[in-house]
Structure 1
Amino acid sequence: MNGDPDYETQVREAFPELDDIEDDGLREKVVEAWVLGLERGGWRDIRDVPYAWNIHEVTNVEHVRGVTRIAQRSAEEQREFHGADPDEDVVVAACLLHDVGKCYEYVDHVDDETLLDPDPTYATEEVPHSLSGYALAHEVGCPLAVQRAIPHFLGEVPKRTLEAELVKSANSASSNAITQSAMGITLQEWVEQYSQTSD
């Protein structure tokens, strides 16, 4: 259909880190998951998805890229300094997908002009974005190692891999930087002040 967003091009342009995934099939699965999330969420543009429901100065794309870059550098240190062997493809793919679920979760927190036609089956806050992101990765056939590294909230996955810990710690590092620069507070203070759900 003419006039529909070219999500695949948007995703490839938004995330140059896709090129760091050596496995061609995995790279395409990451793109496919984002395209599905954007279609179902009804977004006009991938850069319209905000970082948080109440922080719109930073895009989700900027955050996802930050998490990926931080995790890649951490993985490099783990290899070179500690002699560990995190799987680079798993780390990059999981980082790029860790917040794809925001395509579903944040449709109620943006101006209507940024949306086309959200699918009410998916576009909802009822499922936290790290779990809907896990579901998208599963649906497109990402390896289990990637799926397991996507849920990043405490308690979602009882046993975490090295790659999952890299995603979680890089997410915290990026999120703390964003809340500090946007609001002058730590991520923990943001959670305490603005959390929509109680644990």
Structure 2
Amino acid sequence: MAEDSPYTIDRTSNSRRQAVEDWLWGLDLVSPEVRERIVTAWVSAWSSSPYRELTEMPFQAGPPFYPLMRHVNEVTRAGVDLARRAAADWGMAVDWDAMASILILHDVDKPLLYRPDAGEDGQGHSRLFHELPHGVVGAMLLRDLGFPHLVVSTVATHATNAPFHGRTMEAQILHYADLFAADHALRAMGKTPFYLRHP
């Protein structure tokens, strides 16, 4: 990994690539070229992270553990359902290369933001977590891989604490799919889900 970059693009064909392809739900919705880029993005994040196995990557830092793998597929399935509903009810034209990429890749930077031990902050956050907001590093990686602006900007601004959010239907679909799945993960972890939090 270059000293000035938090990740290295990994295009090698290896067991990691196969593991990512076996894990991700929704790859059949995109073109072969986009599928290749999605898999490369996840392999690059994984190989640049401190995690040896996909199953070790957390949805959030610190205990209790909820697998990122599970969250990503839950968001993708919920988002596909919402996109299909938006198409049927409101006539939204769905570009599946963009929509599925956004859903599958929204948390691609989490393996770089967390660490398997408690870390300096006691919560399992990496140094990078304290340098750039969640979504931004993922967007940088996706830009380097040639994803379109819609995908890059939606991933960059999707976090609940982002200063602003995209105004596209794709951003709206990701928002609700992500919160729906995140609230399930938080409940499973014994934490307060977003819909029950008050300012």
TM-score, normalised on structure 1? Answer: 0.79
Residue 46 of structure 1, aligned match among 26, 50, 54:
54
2-structure distance, mates of 1:132, 1:14: 22
Between the aligned partners of 1:166 and 1:53, the Cα distance in structure 2 is 25
Structure 2 contact 80–100 (Cα < 8 Å) conserved = yes
> What amino acid is aligned across from residue 140 of structure 1 in structure 2?
L
Q: Please tell me the residue identity of whatever aligns with 1:178.
A: A
Instruction: Identify which of 86, 96, 99 aligns with 1:91.
Output: 99
Contact 1:41-1:123 within 8 A present in 2 as well:
no
Shift of 1:149: 1.9
Deviation of 1:111 after TM superposition, in Å, equals 4.0
- Does the 8 A contact of 2:76 with 2:104 survive in 1? yes
Structure-2 change in CA distance of 1:6 and 1:157 (3 Å): farther
> Once the two structures are aligned, what percentage of the paired residues are identical?
23
Q: Which residue of 2 aligns with 1:153?
A: 159
SS of equivalent residue, structure 1 residue 8: helix
Change (3 A) 1:10 1:168: same
Q: Does 1:33 align with 2:37?
A: no
**Matching of residue 139 in structure 1 with residue 183 in structure 2:** no
The structure in which a higher percent of residues are strand is 1
Q: How many residues matched?
A: 176
Structure 1 unaligned spans of 5+: 113-121, 193-199
Q: Tell me the amino acid that sits aligned with residue 153 of structure 1.
A: A
1:130 is aligned to 2:135? yes
* Letter matched to residue 140 of structure 2: A
Stretches of structure 2 that go unaligned for 5 or more consecutive residues are: 1-13, 119-125
Cα deviation, residue 153, structure 1: 2.4
How far, CA to CA, are the matches of 2:17 and 2:198 in structure 1?
A: 33
CA shift at 1:190, angstroms? 7.1
Cα distance, 1:160 vs. partner? 2.2
Cα root mean square deviation, aligned: 2.4
Structure 1 residue 88, shift from structure 2 partner: 2.1
Deviation at 1:89, TM superposition (A): 2.1
**Greater shift in the superposed pair: 32-41 or 52-61:** 52-61
Contact 1:100 1:129 survives alignment (8 Å)? no
Mean Cα deviation higher: 98-107 or 159-168: 159-168
| Residue 65 (structure 1) aligned to one of 68, 73, 98 | 73
Give the C-alpha shift of residue 159 in structure 1.
4.1
Looking at structure 2, the residues matched to 191 and 175 of structure 1 have their Cα atoms a distance apart, in angstroms, of 16
Amino acid at match of 1:71: G
Distance 1:183 1:74 in 2: 27
One of 13, 19, 26 as aligned partner of 1:17 = 26
Distance 1:54 1:83 in 2: 42
Aligned pair partner of 2:172 in 165, 174, 177? 165
